[in-house]
């Protein structure tokens, strides 16, 4: 069972809201992981996270600026939870004085040694999650789509020797 499926189940039980997007990438999972685990480099290719710093290590804090369609960039921070190289990156954030919690995950599933699927999502929970999801849920989904497409582009270019 992938983390994404686990989170969808969890979100139904807790009343949270899940947004998730998948993409198939024609590059090895290890190469895709190199881009995901390098927070400092996200700003160079990632249209959603326009600034990011920190390390992909459990317990570490990351800081970022997120750009959602039609909105000014918003700054935030999170704490890294799970890191399984070439497979899973998870971090959590809290907003509105703890009234909303966000569990972010990016899973990489190997299809073949040179192909993988990336599952990019989040679960919003807490008393404010329904209102926030209604206000920005579709923008977050489009942000994940843009991030996924950009990740595919840079990973496939590097795999083909173009970057």
Instruction: Give me the mean pLDDT over the 4-9 stretch.
Output: 40
First to last CA, the chain: 34
Q: Please write the tens of the pLDDT for every residue from 34-51.
A: 999 999 999 999 999 999
d(CA 24, CA 115): 7
d(CA 118, CA 33): 10
Instruction: Give me the mean pLDDT over the 129-139 stretch.
Output: 94
d(CA 79, CA 93): 7
pLDDT at 16 over 90: no
pTM as predicted: 0.89
Instruction: Give me the mean pLDDT over the 122-147 stretch.
Output: 95
The reported pLDDT for the residue numbered 156 is: 98
pLDDT at 11 over 50: no
pLDDT at 107 over 70: yes
Instruction: Give me the mean pLDDT over the 61-86 stretch.
Output: 96
The reported pLDDT for the residue numbered 3 is: 43
Residue 155's CB is within 10 A of a number of other CB atoms, namely: 25
DSSP code for 133: H
Q: How far is CA 95 from CA 79, 115, 127, in A?
A: 13, 36, 11
* Fold type of domain 3-159: Alpha-D-Glucose-1,6-Bisphosphate; Chain A, domain 4 (3.30.530)
Share of the chain above pLDDT 90, in %: 87
d(CA 25, CA 155): 8
CB 141 within 8 A of CB 19: yes
């Amino acid at each position: 069972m992938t983390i994404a499926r686990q989170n969808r189940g969890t979100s139904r039980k807790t009343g949270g809201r899940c947004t998730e997007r998948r993409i198939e990438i024609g590059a090895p999972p290890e190469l895709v992981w190199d881009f995901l685990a390098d927070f400092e480099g996200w700003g160079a290719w990632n249209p959603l996270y326009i600034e990011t710093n920190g390390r992909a290590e459990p317990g570490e804090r990351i800081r970022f600026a997120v750009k959602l369609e039609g909105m000014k960039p918003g700054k935030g921070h999170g704490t890294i939870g799970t890191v399984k190289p070439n497979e899973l990156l998870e971090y959590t954030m809290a907003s509105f004085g703890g009234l909303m919690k966000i569990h972010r995950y990016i899973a990489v599933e190997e299809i073949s040694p040179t192909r993988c699927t990336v599952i990019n999502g989040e679960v919003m929970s807490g008393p404010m999650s329904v209102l926030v999801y209604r206000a920005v849920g579709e923008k977050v989904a489009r942000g994940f789509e843009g991030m996924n497409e950009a990740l595919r582009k840079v990973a496939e270019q590097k795999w083909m020797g173009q970057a």
